[in-house]
Amino acid sequence: MLLKNQVALITGSGRGIGRAIAHLFAKEGAAVFLTARTEKELAAVAKEISDGGGRPEYATADLTQEAACAHVVATTREKFGRIDILVNNAGHYGPVVPVEEYPLAEFDKVIAVHLRAAFLLSKLALPEMYERGSGVILNISSLSAKAAYAWGSAYAAAKAGMLGLTRVTAAEGARKGVRVNAICPGPVTETQMSKELGAVLAKKMGVSAEEQLAGFLNGLLQGRAQTADEIARAALFLCSEQSTAMTGQSINVDGGVAFY
Ligand SMILES: NC(=O)c1ccc[n+]([C@@H]2O[C@H](COP(=O)([O-])OP(=O)(O)OC[C@H]3O[C@@H](n4cnc5c(N)ncnc54)[C@H](OP(=O)(O)O)[C@@H]3O)[C@@H](O)[C@H]2O)c1
């Protein structure tokens, strides 16, 4: 098992990519702390994991709120005594509109859930990691941080910001035993966020959802979507002893679109 006796706090773990990461990390021996806003989804994932012999705990939180970030970190420590791994995964896409139509309040919300929460949770987790001399932070960014797609300015800015945060935190933590990396997934079409985005894009483009998806996937070298499980396996690599010499990196798990 690659994460035996590790404690992992995984945000946005009620469904989608976060759920897949929680399942895989639990299977690899980690105690997993789940968090999102929807209690029903968290309870369901926690049950699946405990039914499989894992050790889950969860708390609801809206991570756009500073107090909620503090609550999640405090509750993880209360339940498991420590945080070895922090995965900043929670997020939503936000409005699918051009810059000149983007509502400022929505822009702030998208930045808050992706970038500000990743910053706050890292800030709260790092002192313990530094004191112990070990820890891993993984930021789930996006292909949107590296490519140029219309109608998602806050999302792309937040995801690109997470790559800057990844590098700076990696620089600060590198000689204190802490590694910080990012994953840039391409289209993980099975998730709620991806399905909702696809439907809106298809409508705006005046094509069917199937046509919109086929056009997008055709631009990937592999010509297919990624699965949440494929992202989880990259996350496991970056959060385990398999990648001890890697820090400050952003790894594209996108079927071949971005090449830097
Ligand atoms: N799917 C893709 O194609 C794709 C590609 C690249 C990157 N990503 C990134 O991967 C991550 C996971 O996305 P996904 O596709 O798995 O989407 P998803 O299925 O919609 O899951 C998003 C998770 O984040 C939680 N969340 C959203 N807003 C939150 C808030 N304010 N506070 C706390 N939790 C919140 C959601 O739960 P609640 O709604 O219950 O709070 C849910 O658990 C996101 O950061 C996304 O940007 C996804």
Q: What pLDDT band is residue 118 in, cutting at 50, 70 and 90? A: very high
Per-residue pLDDT tens over the stretch 78-112: 999 999 999 999 999 999 999 999 999 999 999 99
Please name the residue whose Cα sits nearest to atom 19 of ligand 1.
Answer: 16
Judge whether 215 lies within some domain: no
pLDDT for 159:
98
> Percent of the chain, pLDDT > 90?
100
Alpha-carbon distance of 65 to 191, in angstroms, equals 24
Q: What is the CATH number of the domain that holds 174?
A: 3.40.50.720
Residue to probe by mutation, ligand 1, list 9, 11, 13, 15, most atoms within 8 Å of CB:
15
Task: Tell me which amino acid residue 214 is.
Answer: A
Residues lining ligand 1, Cβ inside 6 A: 12, 14-18, 36-38, 41, 61-64, 89-92, 113-114, 140, 142, 185, 187-188, 191-194
Domain hosting 182: range is: 7-188+226-253
Which residue bears the tokens 């199937």? 210
Residue nearest (by alpha carbon) to ligand 1 atom 37: 36
Q: What's the pLDDT tens digit per position in 178-232?
A: 999 999 999 999 999 999 999 999 999 999 999 999 999 999 999 999 999 999 9
Q: Tell me what pLDDT residue 7 has.
A: 98
The answer to whether residue 20 sits within a structural domain is yes
- For residue 98 the two structure tokens come to 């051009």
Q: How many domains does the chain have?
A: 1
Provide the pLDDT for residue 255: 97
Mean per-residue pLDDT of the chain: 98
Active site residue 155: yes
pLDDT in tens, 20-66: 999 999 999 999 999 999 999 999 999 999 999 999 999 999 999 99
Could you tell which of 37, 58, 73, 113 is best to mutate to test the pocket of ligand 1, judged by most ligand atoms within 8 Å of the CB?
A: 37
How many CB atoms sit inside 10 A of residue 188's CB? 21
Q: Is residue 180 part of a domain?
A: yes
Residue 129 CA to residue 181 CA, distance in Å, equals 15
Q: What was the pLDDT predicted at 66? A: 98
Q: Is there a contact between 182 and 249 (Cβ–Cβ < 8 Å)?
A: yes
Residue 198's pLDDT is what? Answer: 95
Residue 202 belongs to a domain: no
Please report the pLDDT score of residue 90 as a whole number. Answer: 98
pLDDT for res 169? 99
Residue 29 lies in a domain: yes
The closest of 159, 157, 121, 127 to 140, measured between CA atoms, is 159
